[in-house]
Amino acid sequence: MPKSGGARERGSERRAAPRFEFSGGTLALDFANTVDNRPVERRKDLLREYADLVAWGSQAGVVTQSEGRTLEAAGGRRRPEAARVLARATALREALYRCFSALAAGRQVDAADLSLVEGELRVAGAHARLVREGASFAWGWDAGPGDLDRMLWPVARDAAELLLSGRMPRLRECGADDCGWLFLDESKNQSRVWCNMRVCGNRAKARRHYRKRRASRRRQSS
């Protein structure tokens, strides 16, 4: 189910950054959802290059636009390192998806997936700092312009906080056959089925309407 996109580079033309959707209800789930059409053959990876990872971080609010431009420029200069960070990001994303998809279905989480998340959490923990925000304090990050992986730190921490929270009973996987996105059901009666009613929900309604019309025509012609 395509929700985001961007054209590939051709020659010297720069590919437009994808526009990401944030309907998961939490940062870790939104990161896991950076694949469109996950359950089907035409799945589309939205993190195809390091610049896409930076774009996601900027749109998610984990880096500022200025920081994003600095990171993208640094990634362009240090391509091998940027490629390794992208590989780590993809591995983390897939581990998160498998973990939370299993939990949404009431299955056991694979130990290897949990170990990978824990590894990224340890990396993030080395950069975590307490910062003052007015009269209170909050978590911040000790990050420099050379930290190409800084977008992964808040994702790993958010995943751990979600796993330790009491929100797991609200974890859902989209009911559309061609989606698979994860989300937290914050509806009052916890009856949400679709990750995005405007996309998956309306599409499902259209399919049901089409099937009813086709069945009605068959009955009339028989």
Distance between CA 122 and CA 83 in Å, rounded?
Answer: 21
| Residue the block writes with tokens 């051709």 | 10
In a domain? residue 209: no
pLDDT score recorded for residue 189 = 86
Q: How confident is the model over 105-131, as a mean pLDDT? A: 97
pLDDT band at 199 (very low <50, low <70, confident <90, very high): low
pLDDT score recorded for residue 4 = 60
pLDDT score recorded for residue 12 = 42
Residue 137's beta-bridge partner residues? 132
Among 2-16, 75-89, 104-118, 174-188, name the one with the lowest average pLDDT. Answer: 2-16
Distance between CA 119 and CA 14 in Å, rounded?
Answer: 34
At 141-191, the pLDDT tens digits run 999 888 999 999 999 999 999 999 999 999 999 988 889 999 999 988 888
Look at residue 37 and tell me whether its pLDDT is greater than 80.
yes
pLDDT score recorded for residue 125 = 96
Q: How confident is the model over 31-38, as a mean pLDDT? A: 95
In a domain? residue 218: no
pLDDT score recorded for residue 10 = 42
**pLDDT-above-70 percentage for the chain:** 83
**The total number of structural domains that make up the chain:** 1
In this structure, what token pair is assigned to residue 187? 């509806």
In a domain? residue 19: no
pLDDT score recorded for residue 219 = 55
In a domain? residue 7: no
In a domain? residue 160: yes
In a domain? residue 189: no
Distance between CA 85 and CA 49 in Å, rounded?
Answer: 10
Q: Which residues contact 17 (CB under 8 A, 6 or more apart)?
A: 6, 51, 52, 55
Three-class SS of the chain? CCCCCCCCCCCCCCCCCCCCCCCCCCHHHHHHCCEECCCCCCCEECCCCHHHHHHHHHHHCCCCHHHHHHHHHHHHHCHHHHHHHHHHHHHHHHHHHHHHHHHHCCCCCCHHHHHHHHHHHHHHHCCEEEEEECCEEEEEECCCCCCCCCCHHHHHHHHHHHHHCCCHHHEEECCCCCCCCEEECCCCCCCCCCCCHHHHHHHHHHHHHHHHHHHHHHHHHC
Domain with 36, as residue range(s), is 27-168
Distance between CA 116 and CA 113 in Å, rounded?
Answer: 5
pLDDT score recorded for residue 115 = 98
Q: For the chain, what is the mean pLDDT?
A: 87
Among 57-66, 154-163, 171-180, 202-211, name the one with the lowest average pLDDT. Answer: 202-211
In a domain? residue 62: yes
In a domain? residue 61: yes
pLDDT score recorded for residue 191 = 81
pLDDT score recorded for residue 208 = 47
